[in-house]
A and B are shown apart, each in its own frame.
Chain A
Amino acid sequence: DIQMTQSPSSVSASVGDRVTITCRASQGISNWLAWYQQKPGKAPKLLIYAASSLQTGVPSRFSGSGSGTDFTLTISSLQPEDFATYYCQQANSFPYTFGQGTKLEIK
């Protein structure tokens, strides 16, 4: 199985800050990586697919980059509604696997 490791596990930031979350795959996955946002009690929401493509309706302050084994999710200017937990997921091969999550908290 491909292991997905996110860092940091949690981060505190303020409204307006720029935040970057990283995701590392245990082997190359090309650009088959998705990012999700999950708020308490809600289903995950797809933000980014194919490493850097913005899902329809997602604000442009979210961006993704990377290929191979190293990926990043960047939020350019944090808004109050962005405080949530973020997960990466590889879609290169079965079994699909998720990172352990990064909790973004208000400072």
Chain B
Amino acid sequence: QLQLQESGPGLVKPSETLSLTCTVSSGSISSSSYYWGWIRQPPGKGLEWIGNIYYSGSSYYNPSLKSRVTISVDTSKNQFSLKLSSVSAADTAVYYCARLEGATGFDYWGQGTLVTVSS
């Protein structure tokens, strides 16, 4: 069974860069069938798509975050990563990584990790 696991600091200071990694196990991130994505959810609120990446490195970002977001992939480690710069309290959220099969939906999710932006 495919598993995804987010990792990274749970507390980030305002104006700094949030960095998270998603490790994929029991499956290959290099499969040509899938994209890999990041989604976030502020406490008590709805879901926001951040962006997707393909194993080749091609990526798509939410325009609302595009100037601050970088998603990268490391196929040798079966991982993909999220960097969000110049964070503020509005970026406090549970961050999920997930697998996307074409345009069908996110079928596997990590458990999520809460990142709090505070000094």
Contacts and interface: CB of A to CB of B under 8 A. Distances in A.
Given A44-B47, A100-B46, A101-B46, A91 B110 contact: no
A91 B100 CA distance: 10
Interface residues of B, number: 22
A98 interface: yes
Interface in A30-71: 32, 34, 36, 42-46, 48-50, 53, 55
Contacts of B47: 36, 44, 87, 89, 98, 101
Q: How large is the interface on A (under 10, 10 to 19, 20 to 34, 35 or more residues)?
A: 20 to 34
Interface string A65-97: 000000000000000000000010101101111
A34 B46 contact: no
A99 B52 CA distance: 19
A91 B103 CA distance: 5
A55 B47 CA distance: 20
A85 B111 CA distance: 17
Contact of A98 (B46, B60, B110): B46
Interface on chain A toward B: helix, strand, loop, or mixed SS?
loop
A98 to B, nearest CB: 4
Nearest to B105: A34
A94 B105 contact: no
A34 B101 CA distance: 12
A99 B48 CA distance: 10
Contacts of B106: 34, 36, 44, 46, 89
Given A43-B96, A43-B110, A44-B47, A91 B60 contact: no
Given A48-B105, A87-B46, A98-B49, 18 more contacts: A34-B104, A34-B106, A36-B47, A36-B106, A42-B111, A43-B98, A43-B110, A43-B112, A44-B106, A44-B109, A49-B104, A49-B107, A55-B105, A55-B107, A89-B105, A89-B106, A96-B52, A98-B47
Interface of A: 1, 32, 34, 36, 42-46, 48-50, 53, 55, 87, 89, 91-92, 94-101
Interface of B: 46-49, 52, 60-64, 96, 98, 100, 103-107, 109-112
